[in-house]
Amino acid sequence: MGTTIMVLNGPNLNLLGIREPGIYGTETLADIESICKRRGEKLGLEIDFRQSNNEGELVGWIHEAGRKADAIVLNAAAYTHTSVALMDALLSVGLPVIEVHLSNIFRREDFRHHSYVSKAAVGVICGLGSHGYELALEALAKTLNTTQEA
């Protein structure tokens, strides 16, 4: 088995493409999954892409990643700003984590400027739309020394 990256997406991201396109764009989560899988293939990464509106399910997937994956890309969405449970789970598994946000959270409401996820992340990418996921995969490939292309 190759290097596996678990790409986890939090609440309401299943509504991408129809939810506030002025903020989140018009791409769907399925579009982003396709982008990640194509980029992962070029980088020699196996992508395990998931979405849940349930905080507990995300925590369980993080625990699973600790046993089955080499790193995590996480767009925790609203849980970014509220979930100590996600932070604790990420710190517990000890995997490299890249935090991703489609929008620039620092140009938005003040409550979005704080991230519990950042405490466990090696890096944060925000404001670049779906391209942020590709950049996260590239960063993890480099971190894990699996990069196959420049």
SS3 at position 12: coil
The pLDDT assigned to 150 comes to 44
CA distance 72 to 70: 7
For residue range 78-92, list pLDDT tens digits in order.
999 889 999 999 999
Average pLDDT on 122-130 reads 94
At 79, which amino acid appears? Y
Q: Does domain 3-143 have CATH number 3.90.550.10?
A: no
Percent of the chain with pLDDT over 90: 73
Q: Clarify whether 24 is annotated catalytic.
A: yes
Residues in the chain: 150
Q: Of 24, 79, 116, 133, which is the active-site residue? A: 24
The pLDDT assigned to 109 comes to 65
Domain boundaries, the chain: 3-143
pTM for the model: 0.91
Q: Of 63, 79, 81, 101, which is the active-site residue? A: 101
Q: Clarify whether 133 is annotated catalytic.
A: no
Average pLDDT on 32-51 reads 97
